[in-house]
Structure 1
């Protein structure tokens, strides 16, 4: 359900690559292509709401003609280039808190282990709960500068909470090299400090903080492999973006090298008090 979370009925919702041009708001509902995991995913979304988590859309009926209908969640969604209001420290802290609420609620919900959960960006080790796996700015709904809901659960799959947090850090710290960040993010973001704020907002315990930098590197490698598969399959959206960025793996090489070089810096920031 990636898109601008505001507007009128029968409005195409912008944003995202996979479902670009295929997501439409009709009144209080959003209609979009349904993932293969829709039956199991819809059951999970309903269970989240039954257990008090209101930060995710609700299914509105069965999948019809390969499309699903979900409740529209009003608010603001940041699209690239990301505006400064979405990158404040308070906004970042609220993203961590929202993800923690999702995980705490999901932990009590059994899921169908035989469902066709997507493996694209999922935790290679699997895990005990259903992770979102794509908490990018385009998939977070804000109200009054605070993250209140997550949309677009297409990539949800079993995993470790730490994996989901690492994926979130890629987009929100952002845990990418400065040259890559400059293409979509405001200048001057302090990545080590922002990692600490995200972890604090989430309430990440000390042992997991020590692991987070390496898991971020693992998540980056998974993202690179995902892009490689899309290119190998001839996906038009990814092929177009790949060509526009020079058709080279240099950007990914730079990104991975930068993360490895700053691993100790990130670990220190995650373990120290904020100044």
Structure 2
């Protein structure tokens, strides 16, 4: 058994590394056979414990952790498919697919609710939870089309890029997801007519199963979570921190700011749709 494992390891070493894209930060992410290798960090042990928990809880729309390789990179199971953003974003247009995303996130959060983090867990926090419910769950914090891998529009779907998982709340995670998946965007390419955006937000909230108090609390978080990304990029750019400085210089900060303004100006419309 040991000899077979050693031979498999040698064969794996000889396999070509194929760079992968998807996620906000994909530098150094490669595919090796049926695994993905990613740069590890102080948060990696806690993230792997979380992913192990999800698998044990029956949530399959996430990679499985397979340890650390000889170069110190984390090893994850490879999930077939392509990142939905940007070229396949149209797959999420039909209401039934938006409903599917909302139900996936509800299933994810329900599974995460039973996770007890390791006592020595360290997490990578980018935008602190401003919902008033921080610590309710260990949240993904980057649920977005660029982190949804789909094996075709109706095949297997999964959420990737768990590096910024950490303490948070369901609504803080959901507010970020609504921005990307509905979408709630001022970008001319993706902006929906107001009535359609509001209807899709309602569909998304219904799919997740929000009650009325949660719907009321969600609306201001839609703006605050989006503006939090602008503020994070602004501060990181001022400090000269990469890759965020490059993100800022290439217009990501402006995009988050205009999306936050767009969302804030329509809060009454969002609330009316959610409570109708």
TM-score scaled to structure 2, two decimals? 0.84
Relative to structure 1, the CA distance from residue 162 to residue 231 in structure 2 (aligned partners, 3 Å threshold; closer, same or farther) is same
Asked if residue 118 in structure 1 is aligned to residue 124 in structure 2, the reply is yes
Asked if residue 255 in structure 1 is aligned to residue 259 in structure 2, the reply is yes
Please name the residue that 2:143 is paired with.
Answer: 135
Question: CA-to-partner distance for each residue in 1:98-126, whole Å, 9 max, x for gaps?
Answer: 01001111111111365221220342442
TM superposition shift of 1:129: 1.1
TM superposition shift of 1:230: 2.1
1:87-236 alignment runs, 5 A limit: 87-112=93-118, 114-124=120-130, 125=132, 126-146=134-154, 148-177=157-186, 180=187, 182-183=188-189, 185=190, 190-236=196-242
Please name the residue that 2:49 is paired with.
Answer: 43
RMSD: 2.5
SS, match of residue 138 in structure 2:
strand
Structure 1: gaps of 5 or more residues:
1-7
Provide the rounded CA distance (Å) in 1 between the counterparts of 2:177 and 2:69.
29
Please name the residue that 1:5 is paired with.
Answer: none
Provide the rounded CA distance (Å) in 2 between the counterparts of 1:225 and 1:73.
32
Provide the rounded CA distance (Å) in 1 between the counterparts of 2:122 and 2:230.
22
Provide the rounded CA distance (Å) in 1 between the counterparts of 2:151 and 2:254.
38
How many equivalent residue pairs? 258
Question: CA-to-partner distance for each residue in 1:228-270, whole Å, 9 max, x for gaps?
Answer: 132023234433343343x9x6655543332222111000111
Provide the rounded CA distance (Å) in 2 between the counterparts of 1:140 and 1:253.
23
TM superposition shift of 1:176: 2.6
TM superposition shift of 1:171: 0.8
1:77–1:137 CA contact under 8 A, matched in 2 = yes
Provide the rounded CA distance (Å) in 2 between the counterparts of 1:43 and 1:163.
22
Larger radius of gyration: 2
Relative to structure 1, the CA distance from residue 227 to residue 250 in structure 2 (aligned partners, 3 Å threshold; closer, same or farther) is closer
- 2:83 is aligned, of 51, 55, 77, to 77
Please name the residue that 1:60 is paired with.
Answer: 66
Please name the residue that 1:4 is paired with.
Answer: none
